[in-house]
Structure 1
């Protein structure tokens, strides 16, 4: 799944003033990595591979929920915890990983995260029961946080400013490709062998990616260890809750991601049942719909500059609502179109809301972004699990009703941000 992350440490993304003052920024004298150089290529590809491995590991279990439910005799809500427990612990671990990287270094934290999460993935394949699987996935969520919490900071610190955009885009695309690869690869291998073989092979690929990352990523040249002031850090986080507009955006992130994960968590259950009866392989390939989000995120970013964030956010939430209502159809083509429209709207609304957080935060922008991600992943965990209760009782109609209510609340929050909250919200819109 395309899930874009922001920096969670108390380090700014990059220091524009310092770089502007450097007469040879990006050359051998300043040590910044320039596009076209060998080290730049190695660093960009290393982070692409790292992002791919991280998000493949995180989301590989999502298409396996029906299999877990059948093999272990568990309810859909119960098996959804295999993803929810990882995302919620990843969320709360992001700030910790960011602060840790301020002390011991960016590359070290990312490399440790990759190796440990790959080992956890391998252990998942040998879990004797679902309880053991949940414990491993919980540990995995904690150690996974090291890469998304630090990668963008490393890029901003080490890349020459004019070369930063391409490297950042490549890293984010690695996240998207990783989410797709993990779901599709595990689903396909499961159809021919078993889910344990699928996860085992994915873990070995992730270990190879970890080795490649460690050997290829250039060492940090501009990192300086920082002393942490817990009181000041807590103050910066607490200050974000004094702005009702930011709180509204945090809630939006939770609701939107909760509705998105709910749909994809239980789409697999619906597609393997009549009238569709798709194979596990075909269910995995339906996640290719994620690719529409790659276009949606960038295009809606441009549209928000022209029309304003409030109206663009409202339009995208409306698209999500239309999309989820289309999935009620008994025709597979209509369902796929509905999921595509829903996905397009989600990535557009998420990119708009996350950018709005950075614009609205008067101080502590990194902390505001970290809180948005925290709510975002917690919403994913809660929504994804609660949706199982609706599926058990009302099947797909219940899922659609739950998501529709969440989206109506999101539309109200969008209106509130644009028209009701203080003028600063309207100016930033």
Structure 2
């Protein structure tokens, strides 16, 4: 999300103001439900808040565990199905790319049929496909199944953030979304660790099958825990109304910057974690699959950095938090170039911490900024985010095949430089707006 795009909360261009947005949000698909006079939305300490947080945390676990279930297994898939690194990487890119393409239409369905309904249906379909993935007879069939799974999962991210924006008080929104993102990191970490050790003993098919079973448990718990929404009003599915809402969001320079930052951050993360298994399998590391899977314990760093993003914003402001996230990611990429396992691990820790902090700040800023058509605003962010993942995974694998790890790192550094440039442009725009307002 855009550091530049995300002004400090106490500035005239804070995300809640239209001055910050820089442009009208356009006609919404439905009117957002503002807080009731006594503000009946959930706050930390409320039993309902804890139930919502746990339910969406589990949804986040299932989403990332399923979405990236093949990422740590790519060397094994390459050998078993006779696929190159570039071809095998499409088992990740197809899922994230399909999610990016489908998130906007599914978010529109959530405006009409409800966030909880769409999230539940998405999990049911994704879990069902996940139980079929272990039986894919070829890399082409595996890629096709993964694309369907990614398309189904598209109903989760935007609907979840829109649900929180409607049901949780504004001051608790960053923390609530941070917990959802923390669930993403736990799902990504546990999925890769489990698949690594299971695959070492029984192969990659058994590994993705286990992930499917774990996702079933998460989906059932999610549906039992998530309470019925109290602040949702169904809207229309009229295509023209949807198009007006999307155009309004894309006309907002603040949101555009946030979308670009989310995509660039995720391209770094997707590229690094798609390729790292190949690097650690090769000399001088030559690690077994189980140990490579355990490397993803560094996702715990992402869990902490995303869950504490709200405190980081309180201390540094939104733009400051994004600058710090970009600097941390850059440092991690550079450190990872050394041919030392300890140094590579340190680099992954820094990359993970920077990415998850930046993603939490950016995604919560989108939900905060868009007062109308929140699901569409979040969907556009998710589209950019997962397109970044798809592009990063595919291009990172190509660069690794052509040049080695330094090629993947070089692409990552270019992406982070883009984040810094966009953030700086947003900072200057906010400063100019303040000068104009006080003139």
- TM-score w.r.t. the length of structure 2 is 0.82
In the alignment, the residues of structure 1 paired with residue 121 and residue 371 of structure 2 have an alpha-carbon distance, to the nearest angstrom, of: 34
Aligned mate of 2:195, from 172, 186, 191:
186
Does the alignment pair 1:392 with 2:411?
Answer: no
Does structure 1 retain, via aligned residues, the 8 Å contact 2:83–2:139? no
Does the alignment pair 1:250 with 2:259?
Answer: yes
Does the alignment pair 1:347 with 2:350?
Answer: no
Q: Which runs of 5+ in 1 are unaligned?
A: 1-8, 27-31
Deviates most, 101-110 or 272-281: 101-110
- Equivalent in the alignment of 2:239: 230
- Equivalent in the alignment of 2:24: none
- Equivalent in the alignment of 1:241: 250
- Equivalent in the alignment of 2:71: 62
Does the alignment pair 1:201 with 2:210?
Answer: yes
How far has the Cα of 1:165 moved from its partner? 8.1
- Equivalent in the alignment of 1:29: none
Does structure 1 retain, via aligned residues, the 8 Å contact 2:182–2:304? no
Does the alignment pair 1:125 with 2:144?
Answer: no
- Equivalent in the alignment of 2:23: none
CA 1:406 to 1:183, structure 2 compared with 1: closer, same or farther past 3 Å? same
How far has the Cα of 1:136 moved from its partner? 0.7
How far has the Cα of 1:258 moved from its partner? 0.5
Does structure 1 retain, via aligned residues, the 8 Å contact 2:74–2:89? yes
Alignment of 1:70-89 (within 5 A): 70-89=79-98
- Equivalent in the alignment of 1:279: 288
How far has the Cα of 1:386 moved from its partner? 1.1
In the alignment, the residues of structure 2 paired with residue 95 and residue 281 of structure 1 have an alpha-carbon distance, to the nearest angstrom, of: 37
Does the alignment pair 1:111 with 2:120?
Answer: yes
Structure with greater contact order relative to length (CA < 8 Å, sep ≥ 6)? 2
- Equivalent in the alignment of 1:382: 391
Alignment of 1:314-325 (within 5 A): 314-325=323-334
Does structure 2 retain, via aligned residues, the 8 Å contact 1:189–1:195? yes
How far has the Cα of 1:297 moved from its partner? 3.4
In the alignment, the residues of structure 2 paired with residue 329 and residue 81 of structure 1 have an alpha-carbon distance, to the nearest angstrom, of: 27
How far has the Cα of 1:246 moved from its partner? 3.5
In the alignment, the residues of structure 1 paired with residue 155 and residue 264 of structure 2 have an alpha-carbon distance, to the nearest angstrom, of: 25
Does the alignment pair 1:96 with 2:105?
Answer: yes
Does structure 2 retain, via aligned residues, the 8 Å contact 1:77–1:385? yes
How far has the Cα of 1:407 moved from its partner? 2.1
Does structure 2 retain, via aligned residues, the 8 Å contact 1:90–1:145? yes
Q: Which runs of 5+ in 2 are unaligned?
A: 1-27
Does structure 1 retain, via aligned residues, the 8 Å contact 2:157–2:382? no
- Equivalent in the alignment of 2:339: 330
- Equivalent in the alignment of 2:19: none
In the alignment, the residues of structure 2 paired with residue 356 and residue 214 of structure 1 have an alpha-carbon distance, to the nearest angstrom, of: 27
Kindly provide the CA deviation profile for residues 47-104 of structure 1, in whole angstroms up to 9, marking residues without a partner as x.
Answer: 4333322221111111011111222222212111111111121122222222212333
How far has the Cα of 1:152 moved from its partner? 3.8
- Equivalent in the alignment of 2:145: 136
Superposition CA RMSD, Å: 3.3
CA 1:164 to 1:361, structure 2 compared with 1: closer, same or farther past 3 Å? closer
Does structure 1 retain, via aligned residues, the 8 Å contact 2:93–2:389? yes
CA 1:280 to 1:421, structure 2 compared with 1: closer, same or farther past 3 Å? same
CA 1:383 to 1:152, structure 2 compared with 1: closer, same or farther past 3 Å? closer
How far has the Cα of 1:14 moved from its partner? 5.7
How far has the Cα of 1:166 moved from its partner? 7.6
In the alignment, the residues of structure 1 paired with residue 130 and residue 435 of structure 2 have an alpha-carbon distance, to the nearest angstrom, of: 45
Does structure 2 retain, via aligned residues, the 8 Å contact 1:85–1:138? yes
In the alignment, the residues of structure 2 paired with residue 162 and residue 417 of structure 1 have an alpha-carbon distance, to the nearest angstrom, of: 23
How far has the Cα of 1:239 moved from its partner? 2.3
The SS at the match of 1:125 is: helix
- Equivalent in the alignment of 1:4: none
How far has the Cα of 1:301 moved from its partner? 4.4
Does structure 2 retain, via aligned residues, the 8 Å contact 1:360–1:425? no
- Equivalent in the alignment of 2:18: none
Does structure 1 retain, via aligned residues, the 8 Å contact 2:43–2:49? yes
In the alignment, the residues of structure 1 paired with residue 178 and residue 430 of structure 2 have an alpha-carbon distance, to the nearest angstrom, of: 33
Does structure 2 retain, via aligned residues, the 8 Å contact 1:63–1:283? yes
How far has the Cα of 1:105 moved from its partner? 3.2
In the alignment, the residues of structure 1 paired with residue 234 and residue 254 of structure 2 have an alpha-carbon distance, to the nearest angstrom, of: 34
Alignment of 1:385-424 (within 5 A): 385-419=394-428, 423-424=432-433
Kindly provide the CA deviation profile for residues 370-389 of structure 1, in whole angstroms up to 9, marking residues without a partner as x.
Answer: 32221111011012101111
In the alignment, the residues of structure 2 paired with residue 360 and residue 426 of structure 1 have an alpha-carbon distance, to the nearest angstrom, of: 21
Does structure 1 retain, via aligned residues, the 8 Å contact 2:165–2:368? no
CA 1:250 to 1:149, structure 2 compared with 1: closer, same or farther past 3 Å? closer
